[in-house]
Structures are given as structure tokens and as C-alpha cells.
Amino acid sequence: MNTPKSILITGASSGIGAALSLEYAQEGIFLALCGRSQERLSEVADNCRKKGASVAIELLDVTNEASVSNWVCQTNEKRALDLVIANAGVAGGDDGAGFGPEATRKIFRTNIDGVHNTVIPALKSMEAIGTGQIAIVSSLASFRGFPGTPAYAASKAAIRVWGEGLRGRYAEKGIKVSVICPGFVESRMTANNPFPMPLMMTGEKAARIIRHGLEKNTARIAFPWRMYFIAWLLGVLPPTLSDRLMPKVAEKE
Ligand SMILES: NC(=O)c1ccc[n+]([C@@H]2O[C@H](COP(=O)([O-])OP(=O)(O)OC[C@H]3O[C@@H](n4cnc5c(N)ncnc54)[C@H](OP(=O)(O)O)[C@@H]3O)[C@@H](O)[C@H]2O)c1
């Protein structure tokens, strides 16, 4: 496939989004990056510019439908977008462990509404020209409800299944859609997790795997494969069995 030249990434100010921005950054590439922290986002943008990319940053909250839609559409008008990566996400809320009512609503607003707010205007823009690629960052946690992070797992399941449906729906319109299901990746999200995180990898390695998968138009980019197998198995086993096998994952703090 052709290398995407105009790329929009949400949640580019840290972790996987920052690593993806740097992975794609090079001469001749335009990057539209968003986040909420000006300091972190500007630092990522500067590092991408040092690699030769042209970069525009936008401070916005992905839960604000109008702001995200304006940003996606205006960016697309200036530089027709080849690739849109809906990556911004949160794992916990403001009221503690990620399963109180406010935390649940916040996780759903960011991880589900925020992805819809990004992908829907991108699809409309791409549909008009009959080409483009969408990547939706879900998680291996999307394959089964985890007692420690029920809202997070549910939000990631919703966007994974949505993305899988979109892939079939938009293929004949010339638009590729992939869902990305990482295992544990070093980032601010995982920095303080109070439980073991097997086969944890760096953001750089995750970004390389994601880019490679997108270049091959892989439907589901799930990694590392051993964690993917465990997550998949937990999802297909009857609950009477999987409940007993369920790792005792502590809740997010
Ligand atoms: N790390 C893992 O092990 C792992 C595994 C599977 C899936 N994921 C997924 O990967 C994605 C990136 O997470 P990460 O691990 O890289 O975590 P991270 O370092 O905390 O990065 C999250 C990014 O999302 C942005 N963000 C969060 N809420 C936002 C909002 N309302 N509006 C705009 N931007 C927002 C953050 O920007 P600001 O801080 O500037 O607001 C930041 O750039 C998430 O969707 C996450 O669920 C991560």
C-alpha cells in the first residue's frame, strides 16, 4: 500500500499516540495531532518536526463533538487525510477505581463517544473521495469483561465491534478500517498499575507493529500474540469456566 502522507492522530501527547506520531514522522509527511496537554503535545510535535515532518497541533477534548468534527473537517480540507487514528482513551475516572458512576460515564464518553466523534467526520470526508484508512485503538481487554476494569473493557469492546462492522460496510467504498488491540504498553496509562503486566512492550515497538499491520490492511492488529491468545480464549470460554480462570486484576487507582 502507499505510505500515508497526511495523518491525523488523537491522543498524540503521550504513550502510544506519541510513539505513532514519531513512527510516521519524516520528510514529506503531514501530521495533525491532538491532545489536552499543551506542554506534552508541543514536545511531541517538536520531536516530529526534528524528523522532518510538517506538524499541526490542536488542543481539544475528544468528547466535544463539535470541536473534533471541525478539526477533522478543516484539516481534511487543507490536506486530504489518508489515515486517521482514533487513539485517545482513558482507563480510570475521577472518582477512583474506574467503576463508580462518574468514572464509568467518563470512560464511556472518552473511549466511545470520543472515537465516534473522530471517526464519523473522517469517514464522511473519505467517502467523498473514495479512499482513506481508519484505525481504531481498542485493547486486548475488549475480549472479556474484567472485574478490575469493567467500564474500560466494555468501552473497548464497543469500539472494536463497531470498527469491525465499519470495515465490512466501507470496504466497497474504498475505505480501509482496522481495529488495534494492544496488550500492555508502557505509557502514562500503565505507569502506576498495581498488578503484573506480562509481556509489556515499549510504545516504539507497539507503534512499529501497528504501522506494519496498517500497511497490510490487517483487520485486527492484536499483539503480542501470546496475550492475544489468552484474551481471545477468555472471551470464547463459557463464563462458568472463564470466571474461574479470570486473573485477579486489581482495579485502576
Ligand atoms: N498502554 C496500554 O497498555 C494500552 C493497552 C491497550 C490499549 N491502549 C489504548 O491506547 C490508547 C492510548 O493510551 P496510552 O496507553 O498511550 O495512554 P496515555 O499515555 O495515557 O495516552 C492517552 C492519550 O489520550 C489523550 N486523551 C485522553 N483523554 C482525552 C480527551 N478527552 N481528549 C483528548 N485527548 C485525550 C491523552 O492526552 P492528554 O493527556 O494531553 O489529555 C493522551 O495523549 C488508549 O485508547 C488506550 O485505551 C493502551
Q: Ligand 1, atom 47: nearest CA belongs to which residue? A: 89
The 10s digit of each residue's pLDDT in 233-245 is 999 999 999 888 8
Domains of the chain: 6-245 (3.40.50.720)
Q: What is the pLDDT at residue 193? A: 82
Cα separation, 41 vs 168, whole angstroms: 34
Does 42 contact ligand 1 (Cβ within 6 A)? no
- Residue 61 beta carbon below 6 angstroms from any ligand 1 atom: yes
pLDDT of residue 253: 43
Q: Which tens digits make up the pLDDT trace of 14-36?
A: 999 999 999 999 999 999 999 99
Tell which wins on pLDDT, 115 or 243.
115
How far, in Å, from the CA of 90 to the mean position of ligand 1?
A: 5
Cell 497526511 locates to 6
**Close Cβ partners of 193 (under 8 Å, ≥ 6 residues apart):** 250, 252
Q: What is the pTM of this model?
A: 0.96
| Helix ranges (DSSP H) in 172-220 | 203-215
User: How much is the pLDDT for 194?
Assistant: 80
Ligand 1 atom 32: residue of nearest CA: 61
The three three-digit cell numbers of residue 244, written as one number? 474461574
How far apart, in whole angstroms, are the C-alpha atoms of residue 226 and residue 198?
A: 10
- CA of 87 relative to ligand 1 center, distance in Å: 7
Pocket residue to mutate for ligand 1, from 8, 10, 14, most atoms within 8 A of Cβ:
14
pLDDT of 229 over the 80 cut? yes
- The residues pairing with 108 across neighbouring beta strands, listed in sequence order, are none
Centre of ligand 1 to C-alpha 110, Å, is 10
Backbone φ/ψ region at 190: left (φ over 0), alpha (ψ -120 to 50), beta: alpha
Q: Rounded mean pLDDT of the chain?
A: 93
Nearest of 106, 118, 5 to residue 58 by alpha carbon: 118
Q: Is the pLDDT of residue 98 over 90?
A: no
Decide: 104 and 93 in contact? Cβ < 8 Å. yes
Rounded alpha-carbon distances, angstroms, from residue 173 to 129, 136, 170, 220: 9, 18, 5, 19
Work out the pLDDT band at 119, boundaries 50, 70, 90.
very high
Is 80 exceeded by the pLDDT of residue 249? no
